[in-house]
């Protein structure tokens, strides 16, 4: 399979995985605030199953092109990119410029993590 296709597939799987992850980690705060913790845990783990079903193959296939560190940095960048819109549109949080500064820091991490591939 061509490298570009594997890398694109990895990124798309990680984006989808992160959507599930954000709902697994945070939706119970909005949707189950008045339910016992046990129900929130079951709710979150039922969503997290789908996260893992997407994240594990993404990392496994892309591991042939990226180091584990590069995969982790990519995951964090995607996490922030997915979390900000979800926090604003689903959780009704206000835009905060600290999100932009955090994004710039993540972009720096991406640059340093991938610079050996960029300048190869």
Q: What is the pLDDT of residues 8-38, one digit of tens each?
A: 999 999 999 999 999 999 999 999 999 999 9
- Residues of the chain with confidence (pLDDT) below 50: none
Q: What is the pLDDT of residue 118?
A: 79
Please name which of 106, 53, 96 lies closest in space to residue 75, comparing C-alpha atoms. Answer: 106
Q: What is the pLDDT of residue 91?
A: 93
Token representation of residue 34: 């008045």
Token representation of residue 38: 């046990």
Q: Counting beta carbons within 10 angstroms of the beta carbon of residue 57, is it exposed (0 to 12), middle (13 to 18) or buried (19 or more)?
A: middle
For residue 93, what are the domain limits?
A: 3-118
Indicate the helix (H) or strand (E) that contains 102.
helix 97-118
Q: What is the pLDDT of residue 103?
A: 86
Q: What is the pLDDT of residue 1?
A: 75
Q: What is the pLDDT of residue 88?
A: 92
Q: What is the pLDDT of residue 35?
A: 94
Residues 80 and 106: beta-carbon distance below 8 Å: yes
CA distance linking residue 28 with residue 74, whole number of Å: 26
The total number of structural domains in the chain stands at: 1
């Amino acid at each position: 399979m061509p490298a570009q296709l594997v890398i694109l597939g990895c990124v798309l799987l990680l984006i989808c995985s992160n959507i599930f992850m954000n709902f697994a980690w945070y939706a119970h705060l909005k949707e189950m605030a008045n339910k016992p913790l046990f129900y929130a845990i079951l709710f979150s783990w039922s969503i997290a199953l789908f996260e893992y079903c997407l994240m594990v193959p993404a990392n496994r296939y892309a591991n042939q092109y990226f180091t584990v560190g590069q995969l982790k940095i990519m995951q964090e960048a995607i996490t922030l990119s997915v979390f900000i819109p979800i926090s604003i549109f689903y959780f009704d949080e206000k835009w905060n410029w600290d999100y932009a500064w955090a994004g710039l820091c993540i972009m720096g991490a991406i640059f340093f993590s991938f610079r050996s591939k960029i300048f190869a």
